[in-house]
Amino acid sequence: MLEPQSILISESDIQQRVRELGAQISDDYADRELVLLGVLRGAVLFYADLARAISLPLRFEFLQLASYYDDTKPSQVQLIRGGSDYLAGRHVLIVEDIVDTGHTLKFLIGHLHLLNPKTVKVCTLLDKPSRRETAVSVDYCGFEVPDAFVVGYGLDYAQKYRNLPYIAVVEPEH
């Protein structure tokens, strides 16, 4: 059985950073109506803590994506559910768990633009810039992480570890 090997980001460091991000977002969107758009399922814990750290009225929206990987071509991303008409004319902040190659985010931003939001920005808990395959811009980032597979605080390995309150590294079995 795989177990997380080492804690990369502690619970207290996550909570401190989430408070900082919430304060920054509250300043940046003061006097504007903000829609917080969570990407299921990985962003759920980050979303719940971030929402409580933002001192503005918020609208909650969610969507779910699926990625299909193939050795020969870039991953294919599909919208499974969500992405409501309500986003038209609104300020939308995407809340993601991690940006890795960037394909998921690029797909999502392309999809959202079809719904005519006023602005679209991105807040991710984690960013792995060394793995980027397509250019995407991240407006708010919790932590940059190295090229390792991480779990916890919403992120899974085979649907496990999402409820860990910290981020840990999983070493693949050989």
Which residues would be at the binding site for ligand 5GP (CB under 6 A)? 42, 67, 75, 97-105, 149-151, 155-157
Active site (annotated) includes residue 100:
yes
The whole-angstrom distance between residue 33's C-alpha and the CA centroid of its chain comes to 20
Residue 67 or 84 with smaller CB distance to ligand 5GP: 67
Nearest to 38 by CA among 18, 17, 59: 59
Catalytic-labelled residue, pool 71, 100, 127, 139: 100
- Shortest separation between residue 131's beta carbon and ligand 5GP, angstroms: 7
- Shortest separation between residue 91's beta carbon and ligand 5GP, angstroms: 22
- Shortest separation between residue 9's beta carbon and ligand 5GP, angstroms: 12
- Shortest separation between residue 27's beta carbon and ligand 5GP, angstroms: 27
Residue 2 or 56 with smaller CB distance to ligand 5GP: 2
Which residues are within 8 A (CB) of 70 and not within 5 positions of it... i.e. 6 or more apart?
76
Residue 26 or 64 with smaller CB distance to ligand 5GP: 64
Pairing, β 91-99 against β 140-144: unpaired
Residue 55 or 130 with smaller CB distance to ligand 5GP: 130
By annotation, the residues acting in catalysis are 100
